[in-house]
A and B are shown apart, each in its own frame.
Chain A
Amino acid sequence: MGSITLEKVSKSFGTTSVIPEIDLEINDGEFVVFVGPSGCGKSTLLRMIAGLEDLSGGRIIIDGKDMSNEAPAKRGLSMVFQSYALYPHMSVYQNIAFPLKMDGQEKSAIDKKVKDAAHTLNLTSYLDRRPGQLSGGQRQRVAIGRAIVRQPKAFLFDEPLSNLDAALRGNMRLEISDLHHQLKTTMIYVTHDQVEAMTMADKIVVLNAGRIEQVGSPLELYKSPRNVFVAGFIGSPRMNLVSGAAAEKHNATTLGVRPEHVQISKTEGAWKGTVGVTEHLGSDTFIHVDADGVGKITVRADGDFATEHGQSIYLTPDPNRLHRFDANGQAI
């Protein structure tokens, strides 16, 4: 009860085309993440699905019904906004109850649903507070509560975690994933953070300049990126992209190798380089190496690996895990 199909959906503001033409299939119960750099049109696409933005062309089909020109409320979707968009003069209870009240439901039914939602989200002791008296994470949960009481066909999240600090973001990520397993409702989640995308998604849609670059599961995108853009965007730290002689040796214009797929040795290897900055994370060490004739390479080494700035070092990329791209940036 929550499949969404986009057919040749396009959007332009005046003469500038923001989204050329997009086809996308979102299955019922799927957690889909739209990810891309800022300005790639991912939020616009989400708002078009929500009905807050008109389509310039194409159709949006929700549960088999053409909803392209329906009002937002009629589409049966709920949205969590980046700024949470809580109603500041209403208490948490009233905020969560608002969509039900607008739906004209009975007081007792509303009360039960609000209490249930509050229980699910650990908000029970805050129901009388105003949004202004809550912390960022609590506000986030209220916004989610307001979304789930309507039992929508799908949830839309518009960068919901970007206003939270790093620790809280990690927690909320888990909570949202948990919620998805509990509710089994379709969720569409927009973010520019590829870590959020990788950790939460069933399916990632990588967008760039309004175009879909690749659609697939997190591991698919990680293992076989279709082009240079996806290769550079997915994975942390970023994939090393090498061009020039080193790449031509492998019959490619651009050669990609992930930091975790480079062997590092103090005695011998394919590429010789000098150690630059070293980042110790405890579990891992990220070593930024300036390789002669290759360029800057980031290497993920063991946490105990000891190096010094300026030290000579040898690198060997794992030959089975090289990504080769042609002159157009497409994978070979």
Chain B
Amino acid sequence: MATLQTRATARIMMSPAVILLFLWMIVPLVMTLYFSFLRYNLLMPGTEEYVGFLNYRYFLTDPAFFTALGNTLLLVGGTLLITVIGGILLAIVLDQPFWGQGIVRLLVIAPFFVMPTVSALVWKNMLMHPVNGLFAWIARTFGFAPVDWFAQVPLFSIILIVAWQWLPFATLILLTALQSLDGEQIEAAEMDGAGPLSRFIYLVLPHLSRAITVVILIQTIFLLSVFAEILVTTNGGPGLQTTNIAYLIYSQALLQFDVGGASAGGIVAVILANIVAFFLIRLIGKNLER
């Protein structure tokens, strides 16, 4: 009967943490849900009243919503593409033995430790600035007209910055996966007559598939809510070109003081995230089962 007892004890011991976590999650969610059904504008205090699904109607029929949705998906997709492909290439390079490997690995991982706001500011003012930026200087050195990144390709610029931040994460996960590849398998393939490219396609990629799945899942969760980089660089502009869902909600709540509308947006974002997660798990989750 020891097992029953220990199980009960374990439940009791676990419960404070679980209850705290549950409250931590459920209280804000319920409050957001509650606010989303109110007319709740900070400029008109005292006029809060139940308005049903009006906030949702406004949010979902707002043309800005669809632009923001598209931008969010582009931002997630573009960043995933760059980080996964770049991460695989970098991991393969870093897996080769070369002099100074330790230092180089450390440097590659460094961007992950830089705060999003800081890195966005560095990119904005030191790299992508059309007058003072490094890219502009390079362009001028070769006689080209400098690109005004945030005016001409704003969303792509944001994707670049975010991808730079997440590349180390992808590289790190993929590198560890690469290191766990059995050396004898590679040698066997070598004896079987597989060249470097075949070995990559038939051995390395399948071996990495699980790690790639993890990278995609984790990054998607964080990339759906990219905010700081947009706030610091473009403020969602020009126009709505770099506004994603997270930024749209922020502008509802703190620029237009419409807490009710923003709450409705928040709930919509949660639902959207769940839809994305559902398809992701369906699509690639089976990789994790093996």
Contacts and interface: CB of A to CB of B under 8 A. Distances in A.
B207 A89 contact: yes
Nearest to A143: B188
A78 B191 contact: yes
Contacts of A102: 189, 192-195, 198
Contacts, number: 59
Main secondary structure of the interface of B (DSSP, over half): helix
Interface string A68-99: 00011100011101110111111000000011
A85 B193 contact: no
Interface string A89-115: 110000000110011000000000000
A146 interface: yes
Given A81-B184, A102-B198, A87 B203 contact: yes
A174 interface: no
B95 interface: no
A73 B191 contact: yes
Contact of B184 (A73, A83, A89, A98): A83
Contacts of A86: 185
Contacts of A24: none
A73 B190 contact: yes
Contacts of A81: 184, 187-188
A102 B203 CA distance: 13
Interface in A297-332: none
A85 B207 contact: no
A35 to B, nearest CB: 21
A103 B198 CA distance: 11
B193 A73 contact: yes
Interface residues of B, number: 19
Interface residues of A, number: 24
A78 B198 CA distance: 18
A87 B191 contact: no
B202 interface: yes
B187 A73 contact: no
A98 B202 contact: yes
Contacts of A72: 187, 190-191
Interface of B: 182, 184-185, 187-195, 198, 202-203, 206-207, 209, 290
22 contacts: A50-B191, A72-B187, A72-B191, A73-B190, A73-B192, A77-B191, A79-B187, A79-B188, A79-B191, A81-B184, A81-B187, A81-B188, A83-B182, A85-B188, A88-B207, A89-B209, A90-B202, A98-B189, A99-B193, A102-B192, A102-B193, A146-B188
